[in-house]
Structure 1
Amino acid sequence: MLTLDQVYHAAYVLKDVIRETALIHAPLINPESQIYLKTENLQITGSFKVRGAYYKISQLSEEEKTKGVIACSAGNHAQGVALAAAKSGIRSLICIPDSAPISKVEATKSYGAQVCLVKGVYDDAYQKACDLQKESGATFIHPFNDQQVIAGQGTIGLEILNQLADVDAVIVPVGGGGLISGVAFAIKSLNPKCKVYGVQACGAPSMVQALVDKKVEALSSVSTFADGIAVKCPGDLTYALCSKYVDEVVTVTEDEIATAILTLIEQHKLIAEGAGAVSVAAAMFNKVDVKGKKAVCLLSGGNIDVTILSRVISRGLLKAGRSGDLILSMVDKPGQLKEVSSIIADLGANVVSVHHDRSGENTGINDCYLHIRMETRNHEHLAQIRKAIVKAGYHIVQSN
């Protein structure tokens, strides 16, 4: 059984290894609430995962340490285990699917781990890790379904209560459930009145489904760019702890996650990965009851792949009404583009691209399509522009 003494012991073991990450006031995330950000995205390795991994490895016997550790991950857990093993002076082998971003593979190697690339997806890499563990006798470091790993993650709960004693709610990302299990256990043990909410991506609601059906079960598939919480099946330990200590687990959409990432960049100069930003998305879009309350959003990690960051920002701009597309059907004659551009400019928007298409199958011989992308202030500004263009006699075929 997980105990509060174990979480306190983990905090003692970790005090000279990890950072006590800052708690930052974020008044604009949800103006009806007092939102604070627990910045585990600024933790060493860029994620909370090193807490649980290091504590687990620190409790191994000398005999176990001589055989090393093995893990399976495509991201944050791999880097956490690699660094924890290196600091403990033991060998680590991480099985990673060959589809994982090169940046994450190289980061894992840089922390001192031996990397085994496995053809296929996470499940294939997991099976390979299990096979290698049986051959070598190394200790398998599970990413979430392990009591000592959960105790390590629970140290975040202790820090939050030390930093904001009168906190009303804590919002935590959920994948397999190791993070929220530790945080919820620590917080509820010390402050039972504090609400603890979990957040999953709508394309990977494994814990949500388990809690609804009151049993651990695997999803047939998951689909989300928040790869850190794209988990098909929660653990039996984490399910039991969530059932007892978590008040509610909700979901957020891909667009809501993208908007949260963009908001963190613009308002707080913080980079969060998709998994790390779901807590902020839940607060921004009122997925949990934080109105009039002091709430902490846990930013679990910041290791977003830079190759998709620009796409995430674009989605966030669209969701916030900061970017808009218009497709107009019009007669192809001189002055049309100038007039439409003038309407947009006079209303304070900025045209960033224009595409003029005369070749559409459904257009008349003298007609054309005009596709315009604009930078705008918000959804109300977009609506104002659309109304002005229609009033000027133009036909909008599509708008988003």
Structure 2
Amino acid sequence: MRGHGLEHVSNRDRLVEHLQKPGEDIEPRYARWAEERRRCPVAKTSPAEGSGPETYVVYSNAGVRQVMGDDRCFTKPGPSWRTTRTLLSMNGEEHRVHRALVADPFTVQGVARFEKTLIVPLIHDLVDKFVSRGEADLVLDFTSHYPFHVIRRIIGIDESEHDEFIGLAFPVNGLNRGWEDHIKEFLLPRIHAARANPKDDVLGLLARSELDGRPLTDEDFLEYLLLLIPAGADTTVAGSSNMFAGLLLHPEQLELVRRDRGLVNRAVNEALRWQNPAATTFLRRSLCPVEVEGVAMPENTLIRAHVSAHNRDETVYAEPDRYDVTRERAPAGVFGYGPHICLGMHLARAEMRVALNVALDRLPHLRLDPSAPRPFVRPASGPDTGGDGSLAAVNSLPVLFDPPA
């Protein structure tokens, strides 16, 4: 397995080790989820004694859209281990006001400002490090790098702290109380420095902002940063890696995009549909008696919206297990629905789009290394599975290409 481009620094080595952990192919799970959906689009689980309340799992596209998009009937509970609230645990008007405060850098217009000045040069610099070799591991040398650099720069963390930032943004032991304590220790001095000298970054934006006519407190800062730092990198690492995996495992699709760059956006969308880069399921709680796909649920019911399964619902997508860049219908819900739709979705799409265009420009005849094992996407893991919080992603993509003359 290759990985020549990473510096030998502790947190980066830990990231490499984490990415290289063995795992199984996720595809058999999609077949099982499809069978569950056909048998019963909404299934009631029976937890082991003492392990928690009964929960409904929604597998269908229509059911997930309903549960994720209707904030009058469903609410989003926050993680039980957090001591600091984030946007994820806010709802209604509170969520709207807090989200609007930090939204500007992540709008289409805000991301466009970063694309030419930050994302494009950064991705070219990464390719410079391996392009002369004619071989690379696109995950270890490429897609696992630029998302961390981009979100670090946007937030306002200095490059000298990049290694420590990786450890915070991609904690190999998962998001938990220990991680929260560590990241607070890292952030508080930088929050105080931003107040004294606000710059043109997220820290500076927060330092200049007010809530209810008052400056933001340390706790207010942490509400945003404890969400942005991990979410701003890991989803794009997974999305970009899976995009290249889909194209390389289906070389006829890669050739279509190479011949017609107008398909780049579709290739990005299809990657996000084919392999959901966020959590497999999202938890919601019913606020009133409600019916989902003909199943009646009382108030205060816990519901898992199975976003990975709903992206492959055969009633919505023809041949849903196939990666196909010619699909005319753009997938919905890959970044969620309703008020909690992912704040960073435009940034993630821009990074994926730029990465693909740069790879097509600078890595001619890009192809899988035939001497390496066939790559596959590993399932997501998290608290529900006893895992470490990693997302569904391919962990290695050894490739060959024609080096510059």
**TM-score per shorter chain, which class?**
under 0.3
Answer 1 or 2: higher relative contact order, Cα 8 Å, separation at least 6: 2
Larger radius of gyration: 1
Normalising by structure 1, what TM-score?
0.27
